[in-house]
Structure 1
Amino acid sequence: MSMEIAKEKAENQTWRDLPLELLISVMTNLEIEDNVRASAVCKPWYEAAVSVRITDQPPWLMYFPMSRNSYEFYNPSNSKRHTKELPKSLAGSKVRYSKDGWLLMCKSISTDFVLFNPFTMDLVVLPDLELWHGYQLVGFSCAPTSSDCVVLIIKDYDPGHVTIRTWSPGETTWTSMQVSSQFLDAKRNYVVFSNGLFYCFNLRNSLAGFDPSLRTWNVLDISPPVCPDHIDDESWYEGKFMVGYKGDVFLICTFGNAEPLVFKLDLTLRVWVKKENIGSLTIFGSINSCESRTYVHEGLLRDSIYFPKLCDNENRCVTYSFDEGRYHPRREHNVNWGKQPSSENIWIEPPENALELI
């Protein structure tokens, strides 16, 4: 081949002529929204984009019957339900937080916390809190099987002070610190661990961050999300959910049967940015646990939020689709919760071998 022909061929090459290996390398580093856009360019780009997409396993829905001596899983991928007995030591306990397939639990008349894996039945008993009643925010960073696990419990022990206690695997006591702060005013457990920080949200729409490695607590100078004119103050303070996804933090605000509002935290601009939709994300929201996924099982909707029930007088799973602009019951997931309070329903991440364990 002459130099002239080779030069002309090189000049006529387009992006679609890139080798498949190079295309795959590029697609691997794209965010999901960009991956979807790139897949529409041409057939080679579509093949490369689809080849690196990972289908996330959706979380399972978990609830406790009124007897509180057992619990039930619901797998939204196949609409099947599975029941297991609680360990006797946990009978009557309530879930306070869920992450990485583990539950942080305690009994209402006790401050003895435990970490429990309802799939493997593994149990980690945390040190006694010495009758430290009145905690308001609780959470943990990751599964206790990791040395990076940090359990966080916060309360306003004295007026004008916030008391923070943490525990990590291998420790025999809680580590405690007290800081001057007027932050806490929380009825729900708004805690998300993201980028090495615990983000905590309160009813006054203030946001604070706790860094477990530096042991620092800061009420962040973040402009609160803007309340729409048609929403009354009481509704604005209730019905919120916080969830993280790959370093991002989202706030979902619900108002009965009205359209939910979604805000994304922008730390650079120090503001909550209202989103018209959530793109390829699917969010699973409940009071004590929120999960987020992309490329979920094809039977589930993207750009949607799944709720165990919208309010206590509902009796089955409800989905809000931003694409359709409406709520609708998921008939294919027709789980009748009866009079079960919505606070008793928890989204939980199942292990890959969940079906073998149940």
Structure 2
Amino acid sequence: MEIAKEKAENQETWRDLPSELLISVMTNLEIEDNVRASAVCKPWHEAAVFVRVTDQPPWLMHFPNSTNSYDFYNPSNSERHTKELPQSLAGSRVRYSKDGWLLMCKSFSTDFVLFNPFTTYLVALPDLDLGHGYQLVGFSSAPTSSDCVVLTIKDYDPGHVTIRTWSPGETAWTSMQVSSQFLDAERNYVVFSNGLFYCLNLRNCVAVFDPSLRKWNVLDVPPPVRPDGIDDESWCEGKFVVGYKGDVFLVCTFGDAVPLVFRLDLTGRVWEKKEDIGSLTMFVSINSCESRTYVHEGMLRNSIYFPKVCDSENRCVTYSFGEGRYHPREHNFNWGKQQSSENIWIEPPENALELI
């Protein structure tokens, strides 16, 4: 009898783990591993499905030139919605987007406004006195958060970078100037990740600004290797910087060619080339990039969604690493020439449909 009991105990397997422990394990799995684990047995399937939370994708925003309005496009169901733009923002352009808010200002103006296009709430920022404008701009979180920091950077003065920040409740910008060589920052390659602002210039040099310590540092990281056959102009165009849980990715596009993806390896001080992005789905545009792990059912994982809707098929241009091709196959879109404020990915609130 004792021998039979000991034999039964020795035959216990992973399938016999307590449900609480199974759920704890499944919580730490990426979506692909979660799906594989769900096929092992019934208890594993129940635990895997229990923690498989679906993330809603960001929506794509478009500002038609002919009307004082803006359009939303939901890539998960191809639904479109239109909302009127406040008169005070007529003629304004989007400079950055994060957490469902837009940082906007009019052309050649430094009067910034934070705008929520769902609630139409406005937060006017103090006047920013910049003799020659700015080159990089972004913000860390929604202005409803005490952690919100708005950042502007200019480096017109050789050998110096001027950094200005603003947070909710402040009546003026805080300015600092540091000795640094970070020229050629003509496009707004900024991403906030893991408490830091990462900035990229045309030469693919990376600088980091820590708003809590007010510290600026140009990293000693060689730029990613340019592929053979790509000229200087193409290599400088069509780039997107994406953040995900502390990681920073660089997406490079060249017409109809396969996109290149690099992950910033801070330990090895190198841009690591990725053959795919695993369970991630990236949504990229010039002034806003989003990333998701558990995307809505029916959407492509291990893929990049670009800021263009194909009216003939009513879906976004997408590149699937799993299939090794674009959808549609011929997108005929020059990423580098895209107007900065025409198409912006934005995170909708849970009650977005009620607000529009």
Q: Give the TM-score taking structure 1 as reference length.
A: 0.91
Contact 2:110 2:127 survives alignment (8 Å): yes
1:352 pairs with 2:333: no
Structure 1 residues 46-66: Cα deviation after superposition (integer angstroms, max 9, x where no partner)? 321221011000110101011
Deviates more, 1:288-297 or 1:43-52: 43-52
- 1:335 matched residue in structure 2: none
Q: 1:126 to 1:342 in 2, by over 3 A?
A: closer
Contact 2:251 2:261 survives alignment (8 Å): yes
- 2:144 matched residue in structure 1: 145
**Cα displacement (A) at 1:299:** 2.3
Structure 1 residues 113-168: Cα deviation after superposition (integer angstroms, max 9, x where no partner)? 01000001111000100244321111000111000000000001411110000001
User: Alignment identity in percent?
Assistant: 83
Q: 1:15 to 1:340 in 2, by over 3 A?
A: closer
- 2:253 matched residue in structure 1: 254
Contact 1:156 1:184 survives alignment (8 Å): yes
Name the aligned partner's letter for residue 322 of structure 1: F
Name the aligned partner's letter for residue 60 of structure 1: W
Deviates more, 1:72-81 or 1:204-213: 72-81
Structure 2: which 5+ residue stretches go unaligned?
331-336
Contact 1:60 1:76 survives alignment (8 Å): yes
Deviates more, 1:257-266 or 1:341-350: 341-350
- 1:64 matched residue in structure 2: 63
Contact 1:201 1:207 survives alignment (8 Å): yes
Contact 2:30 2:279 survives alignment (8 Å): no
1:178 pairs with 2:177: yes
- 2:121 matched residue in structure 1: 122
- 1:136 matched residue in structure 2: 135
Find the aligned partners of 1:269 and 1:36 in 2 and give their Cα distance. Answer: 32
Find the aligned partners of 1:131 and 1:308 in 2 and give their Cα distance. Answer: 31
Contact 2:138 2:152 survives alignment (8 Å): yes
Q: 1:228 to 1:330 in 2, by over 3 A?
A: closer
**Cα displacement (A) at 1:13:** 0.9
Count, aligned residues = 347
**Cα displacement (A) at 1:44:** 2.6
Deviates more, 1:198-207 or 1:152-161: 152-161
Alignment of 1:1-358 (within 5 A): 3-67=2-66, 69-309=68-308, 317-329=316-328, 341=339, 343-358=341-356
Contact 2:75 2:316 survives alignment (8 Å): no
Q: Give the TM-score taking structure 2 as reference length.
A: 0.92
CA RMSD of aligned residues (A): 2.2
**Cα displacement (A) at 1:80:** 1.5
Contact 1:68 1:93 survives alignment (8 Å): no
**Cα displacement (A) at 1:40:** 4.2
**Cα displacement (A) at 1:68:** 5.6
